[in-house]
């Protein structure tokens, strides 16, 4: 895989990076959409979060393929840290706002957004901009800071059971919306790792073979109908909360797919355009494939690329 030179930009205290679209094409694979049909994955680059979301959903056949009239929908972003959007510690609030609107326009009866945060939940919700974005879009922002919000469910994978947020248990469908970041323990946090924010007992997960536990929790029977990776800004070092703007690269990218293993594989390749990270280090991706949650072979995935 050939690397392209990155253009340095002054965005975020001159610390961010810009990635050309050809680099993204090379990163994701050489497979192309030969006929007009819904692809398995859509990669969009060069626009604002709302515009890229529109393009991705259109290519996937529309939000109606994932959200039905009258359904209760949960959107699960990363809101784990008391960080502003420019520091890329959380999912971009513009993307969350646009997605809430899309779900309500599709006829969802209720759209709930939550995350089991690491920092104080009220500060995380506020500083990230996500609480305000959800309210402006007509959604419901719900806390996850107390065990009372979680109910035990069975998990087919090795962890056997876990306490999962009641909003997700009661939902008809959910959409997984992580931000792409470096992570000290898991090495990369994306769609699979974002499951940690739906469980109460994640301390156990982090202390007992984290990579396997991430794969195991993803075997819960209620899979996300869609995964949308926010790569508008990514944290390429000092994750998962970061230290400064120097940890951030601006890629203005978005990847969407129902296939959680494939989308994390694609996200890893995108991450590698900024900083080298071997697949073996991100063990939960391969473990997820072993549990038949998806494929790491992107040559078998139909990918549509859109440049704005």
Q: What is the pLDDT of residues 179-238, one digit of tens each?
A: 999 999 999 999 999 999 999 988 888 888 999 999 999 999 999 999 999 999 999 999
Reply yes or no: is the peptide bond before residue 240 cis, omega within 30 of 0. yes
Highest mean pLDDT among 5-19, 206-220, 251-265: 251-265
Which of 24-38, 167-181, 234-248 bottoms out in mean pLDDT, i.e. has the lowest? 24-38
Higher-confidence residue of 2 and 59: namely 59
At residue 24 the predicted structure's pLDDT band, cuts being 50, 70 and 90, is: low
At residue 13 the predicted structure's pLDDT band, cuts being 50, 70 and 90, is: very low
Query: What's the mean per-residue pLDDT of the chain?
Result: 91
| CB < 8 Å & 24+ apart, contacts of 117-126 | 117/79, 117/80, 117/81, 117/144, 117/145, 117/197, 118/80, 118/81, 118/240, 118/241, 119/80, 119/81, 119/82, 119/241, 120/82, 121/145, 123/82, 124/79, 124/80, 124/81, 124/82, 124/90, 125/79
Give me the percent of the chain exceeding a pLDDT of 70: 88
- CA distances 271 to 61, 82, 105, 171, 234, Å, are 27, 23, 33, 32, 8
Closest CA to 129 of 156, 99, 94, 98: 94
d(CA 108, CA 69): 5
| Distance in angstroms between the alpha carbons of the first and the last residue of the chain | 24
18 pLDDT higher than 50: no
Average pLDDT over residues 7-28: 45
Specify the residue for token string 């692809």: 39
Contact indicator for 180, 272 with CB cutoff of 8 Å: no
The rounded radius of gyration (Å) of the Cα atoms in the chain is 18
32 pLDDT higher than 60: no
* Encoded tokens for 37: 């049909």
């Amino acid at each position: 895989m050939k690397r392209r030179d990155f253009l340095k930009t002054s965005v975020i205290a001159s610390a961010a990076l810009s990635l050309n679209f050809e680099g993204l094409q090379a990163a994701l694979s050489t497979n192309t959409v030969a006929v007009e049909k819904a692809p398995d994955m859509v990669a969009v680059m060069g626009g604002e979060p709302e515009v890229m979301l529109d393009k991705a959903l259109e290519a996937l056949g529309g939000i109606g393929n994932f959200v039905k009239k009258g359904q209760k929908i949960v959107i699960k972003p990363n809101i784990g840290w008391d960080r502003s959007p420019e520091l890329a510690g959380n999912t971009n609030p513009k993307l969350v706002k646009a997605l809430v609107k899309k779900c309500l326009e599709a006829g969802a009866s209720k759209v709930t957004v939550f995350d089991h945060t690491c920092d104080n939940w009220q500060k995380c919700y506020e500083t990230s901009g996500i609480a305000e974005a959800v309210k402006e879009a007509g959604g419901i922002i719900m806390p996850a800071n107390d065990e009372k919000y979680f109910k035990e469910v069975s998990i087919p994978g090795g962890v056997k059971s876990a306490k999962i947020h009641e909003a997700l248990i009661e939902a008809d469908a959910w959409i997984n919306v992580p931000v792409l970041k470096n992570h000290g323990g898991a090495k990369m946090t994306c769609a699979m790792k974002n499951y940690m924010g739906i469980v109460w007992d994640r301390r156990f997960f982090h202390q007992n073979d984290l990579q396997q536990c991430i794969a195991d929790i993803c075997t819960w029977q209620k899979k996300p109908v869609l995964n949308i990776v926010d790569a508008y800004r990514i944290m390429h070092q000092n994750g998962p909360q970061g230290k400064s703007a120097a940890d951030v690269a601006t890629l203005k990218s978005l990847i969407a797919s129902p296939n959680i293993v494939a989308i994390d594989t694609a996200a890893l390749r995108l991450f590698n355009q900024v900083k080298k990270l071997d697949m073996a280090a991100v063990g939960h991706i391969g473990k997820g494939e072993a549990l038949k949650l998806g494929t790491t072979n992107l040559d078998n995935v139909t990918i549509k690329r859109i440049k704005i």
